[in-house]
Amino acid sequence: REVWSSFVVPAALGGFALMSARKTVRTMRELREARAAVAQLAANEERLRLARDLHDLLGHSLSLITLKSELAGRMLPGDPERAAGEVADIERVGRQSLVDVREAVSGYRRPTLAVELAGARTALAAAGIEADVPQAGPDGAVAGGPLAAGQESPLAWSLREAVTNVVRHSGASRCAVVLVRRPDGAVRLTVTDNGTGPAGAPEGNGLTGLRERLALAGGTLATAPGVRGGYTLHATVPAHPAPSPDAAPDLPRGGRP
């Protein structure tokens, strides 16, 4: 009995204490590793988001600046006043791009459909493409009502890149944008043109990025030759999109390892 209380019990307790200390050390190490892995994943995700945002923002703005510079150059000899108008537009687009890039870098950029619909009209007009683009209603309502949180941003990005592609690749004379709300609440954007259609070129950063954006929201992207030639792009976002870093990137900044 003496031996138990004076030796075995403390020894056993010491053994348990040692074991649990070892276990704690191991758990803490595992926790640290897991946190590092999560931080790494978040950093990669953030890098991808920034790459997509910069591509889609600048691809569109620089295409517009190029188009308008060409227009201004052509108008300059015969119609300096209209050329000046185009130059004023170039300045505005340049300034807006600076704001956009700053917002993209800080993660606060959230494109809206109303703005991108207006931008689509401007870009198609500058390219001399006859455009059929719906108007957003008051409060940004489209396709018969307001959009659910998380639906708007991926659709707005899709419209922006689709129109940039029409301007850059299609050689079309007409382009139509259609937004439809399906009975299940999903919203589908369709952009069609009457241009050359898909040339069999592999997907670039634009369509790859769009596919990622839409997948993050639980949506889909599909491209195909148009029914009567040309090119068709469909982007669909479900009624209740998955919360995604694209839809809500208001993460605390600068907290990275």
Which residue is associated with the tokens 């419209």? 159
| Contact range with ligand ATP by CB under 6 A, out of 9-17, 21-29, 91-99, 194-202 | 194-202
Coil vs helix vs strand at 193: strand
Q: Binding to ligand ATP by residue 193, rule CB under 6 A?
A: yes
**Cβ–Cβ under 8 Å, residues 121 and 89:** no
Q: Is 158 a residue that touches ligand ATP (CB under 6 A)?
A: no
164 in Cβ contact with 206 (< 8 Å): yes
Choose the contact partner of 218 out of Mg ion, ligand ATP, none; CB within 5 to 8 A by kind. none
| Shortest distance in whole angstroms from residue 155 CB to ligand ATP | 17
By CB under 5 A, tell whether 165 contacts Mg ion: yes
- Shortest distance in whole angstroms from residue 200 CB to ligand ATP: 8
Choose, by CB under 5 A, the member of 154, 195, 197, 206 that binds Mg ion.
206
Q: What is the 3-state secondary structure (H, E, C) of 123-169?
A: HHHHCCCEEECCCCCHHHCECCECCCCCCHHHHHHHHHHHHHHHHHH
Reported as type and span, the H/E element at residue 98 is: helix 80-106
Residue of 15, 94, 145, 204 that binds ligand ATP (CB under 6 A): 204
Among 104, 52, 101, which residue's Cα sits nearest to residue 211? 52
Question: Is the CB of residue 101 less than 8 Å from the CB of residue 57?
Answer: yes
**Toward ligand ATP, which CB reaches closer, 204 or 243?**
204
Instruction: Look up residue 47 and give its DSSP letter.
Output: H
193 binds, among Mg ion, ligand ATP, none (CB under 5 to 8 A by kind): ligand ATP
Interatomic CA distance for residues 75 and 69, integer angstroms: 10
168 vs 181, beta carbon nearer ligand ATP: 168
Q: Is 130 in the site for ligand ATP (CB under 6 A)?
A: no
Instruction: Pick what 196 binds: ligand ATP, Mg ion, none; C-beta below 5 to 8 Å, kind-dependent.
Output: ligand ATP
Which residues of this protein are in contact with ligand ATP, per CB under 6 A?
59, 165-166, 168-170, 193, 195-199, 201, 203-207, 231
Which residues form the interface with Mg ion (CB under 5 A)? 165, 206
